[in-house]
């Protein structure tokens, strides 16, 4: 931010609050060319924004007022410069939904805590799309008033030239263009008279005082409900497990049905199409920022997008034939070059769980449905002895018994050989989840000991995130 812009923001602050700011902290840039700073005088703290694109600013400022009038939690706008290039807005803190997801998963995995935060967001989304959507001034939308055919083709061309070309994916240009025409015609047949936020993802949702707030909606326009839901639930690095995605999808539909009727089958069919175009748009952005502008951190989102795309292509049932587009997308998914991007920092979560067979085998919350389940019931059981009944596999006396009077050492060694092999392969292939469960009769002694031992081994030998839980104790 140059000094002239900084002076302009400081002048706005003084005009609004009557005092000179004592702190001016530049904030990191994201995917846009807008610049932000946190400005404070010790009593008031605001976010100052600068953007030379006046039309985009007008869209943001107008939507801010109209969304707030509909009860949507958005930042308050305090003051705007005469030339509409600068403005001061409410400081909503530093914690985005993405930040919260990242930190919470380190200790809990994708837990109920995170699901509840997403449900807070999904309670508000229909209010943004439907209720506020009826009052939005679409004449200020920028660059288009609707997510129309031209907008879709822009996104698909972005994907074609900034992703496919730069990622070394071959395609027949005419056949792909023909498929793009059919694909967009199909998407345009969905009901699209709602407000479409356009970039509805976890980095644009702030958490403050137990509530959710929304930012960066300046690209909003008229469009279909499915697009924003696709943006949120298939937000690449948020990496929501498939089973939880389905749960949140159903929760959203329930919320929409409180306002208007929904044909769930048709909604889901269109939804999958909008997920595909949203992923393609995101990949175009990753390619432009990463391959073209050499901002390599954008490339680290690509493996997550590939996992999502692979899952969707196996379930796609669009009522239109798209042979070249499907071929190209499958080639993208299978690309070893793309799979290797960001591999060094790729975050594999190994979920290790102990349980009692009396209460059933744990469900893998990642939605992968794979992993290992090891039966510890063949091992000499300390739970048969009175002195151990009130203890668990984490207590020293139980550990000593198992190590000296059971076959647990040989058992753990065999487990480690199998699990190590999978972890190495999962890291190599860019997978994000592996589940390992240990079961015994009561879920207190043998399975707990085995889970603890494996977790210790994995933490000491692999650069992965380990989530350890003892179901019957937790």
One pLDDT digit (tens) per residue for the chain, 474 residues: 789 999 999 999 999 999 999 999 988 766 667 999 999 999 999 999 999 999 999 999 999 999 999 999 999 999 999 999 999 999 999 999 999 998 898 888 889 999 999 999 999 999 999 999 999 999 999 999 999 999 999 999 999 999 999 998 999 999 999 999 999 999 999 999 999 999 999 999 999 999 999 999 999 999 999 999 999 999 988 889 999 999 999 999 999 999 999 999 999 999 999 999 999 999 999 999 888 887 767 887 898 899 999 999 998 889 999 999 999 999 999 988 888 775 544 578 999 999 999 999 998 877 776 799 999 999 999 999 999 999 999 999 999 999 999 999 999 999 999 999 999 888 878 788 999 999 999 999 999 999 999 998 888 777 788 899 999 987
CA–CA separation, 437 and 376 (whole Å)? 10
Exposed e or buried b for every residue in 269-303, given b needs 16+ CB within 10 A? Answer: bbbbbbbbbbbbbbbbbbbbbbbeeeeeebbbbbb
3-state per-residue secondary structure call for 191-250: CCCEEECCCCCHHHEEEECCEEEECCCCCCEEECHHHHHHHHHCCHHHCCCHHHHHHHHH
CA–CA separation, 309 and 323 (whole Å)? 16
The answer to whether the beta carbons of residues 346 and 463 sit under 8 Å apart is: no
- Peptide linkage before 143 cis (omega within 30 of 0): yes
Q: DSSP character for 51? A: -
CA separation, residue 382 to residues 289, 392, 393, 453 (Å)? 58, 9, 9, 17
- Beta bridge pairs of residue 419: none
Looking from the CA of 27 toward its CB, the CA atoms found within 13 Å total 18
Which H/E stretch holds residue 185? helix 173-187
Tokens of 346: 């790729």
With 0.75 as the threshold, say if the pTM is over it: no
CA separation, residue 159 to residues 23, 156, 167, 177, 340 (Å)? 41, 5, 10, 12, 19
- Beta bridge pairs of residue 96: 206
Domains with residue ranges and CATH for the chain: 3-90 (3.30.200.20), 97-344 (3.90.1200.10), 347-470 (no CATH)
Strands 211-214 and 205-208: antiparallel
CA–CA separation, 152 and 276 (whole Å)? 12
Burial of 178 (0-12, 13-18, 19+ CB in 10 A): middle
How many Å from the N-terminal Cα to the C-terminal Cα in the chain? 50
């Amino acid at each position: 931010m140059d000094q002239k812009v900084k002076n302009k923001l400081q002048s706005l602050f003084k005009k609004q609050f009557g005092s000179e700011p004592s702190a001016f902290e530049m904030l990191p840039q994201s995917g846009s060319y807008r610049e932000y700073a946190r400005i404070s005088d010790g009593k008031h703290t605001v976010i100052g924004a600068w953007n030379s694109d006046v039309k985009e600013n007008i869209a943001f400022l107008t939507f801010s007022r109209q969304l707030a009038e509909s009860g949507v939690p958005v930042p308050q706008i305090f003051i705007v410069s005469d030339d509409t290039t600068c403005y001061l807005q409410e400081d909503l803190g530093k914690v985005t939904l993405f930040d919260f997801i990242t930190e919470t998963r380190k200790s809990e995995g994708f837990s109920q805590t995170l699901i509840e935060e997403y449900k807070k967001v999904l309670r508000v989304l229909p209010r943004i799309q439907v209720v506020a959507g009826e009052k939005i001034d679409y004449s200020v939308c920028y660059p288009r008033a609707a997510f129309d055919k031209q907008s879709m083709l822009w996104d698909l061309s972005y994907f074609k030239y900034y992703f496919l070309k730069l990622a070394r994916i071959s395609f027949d240009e005419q056949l792909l263009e023909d498929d793009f025409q059919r694909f967009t015609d199909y998407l345009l047949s969905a009901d699209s008279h709602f407000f479409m936020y356009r970039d509805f993802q976890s980095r644009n949702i702030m958490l403050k005082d137990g509530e959710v707030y929304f930012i960066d909606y300046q690209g909003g326009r008229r469009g279909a409900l499915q697009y924003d839901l696709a943006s949120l639930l298939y937000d690449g690095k948020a990496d929501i497990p498939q089973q939880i995605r389905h749960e949140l999808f159903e929760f959203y539909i329930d919320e929409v049905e409180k306002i208007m009727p929904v044909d769930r089958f048709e909604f889901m069919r269109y939804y999958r199409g909008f997920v595909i175009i949203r992923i393609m748009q995101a990949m175009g952005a990753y390619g432009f920022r990463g391959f073209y502008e050499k901002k390599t951190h954008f490339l680290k989102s690509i493996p997550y997008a590939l996992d999502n795309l692979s899952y969707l292509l196996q379930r796609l049932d669009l009522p239109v034939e798209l042979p070249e587009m499907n071929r190209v997308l499958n080639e993208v998914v299978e690309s070893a070059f793309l799979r290797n991007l960001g591999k060094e920092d790729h975050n594999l979560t190994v979920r290790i769980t102990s349980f009692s067979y009396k209460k059933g085998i744990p469900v893998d919350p990642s939605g992968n449905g794979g992993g290992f389940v090891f039966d510890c019931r063949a091992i000499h059981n300390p739970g048969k002895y009175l002195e151990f009944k009130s203890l668990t596999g984490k207590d020293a006396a139980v550990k000593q018994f198992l190590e000296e009077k059971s076959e647990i050492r040989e058992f753990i060694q065999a487990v480690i050989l199998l699990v190590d092999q999978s972890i190495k392969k999962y890291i190599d292939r860019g997978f994000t989840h592996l589940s390992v469960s240990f079961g015994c009769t009561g879920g207190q002694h043998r399975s707990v000991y085995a889970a603890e031992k494996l977790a210790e081994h994995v933490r000491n030998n692999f650069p992965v995130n380990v989530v350890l839980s003892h179901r019957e104790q937790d």
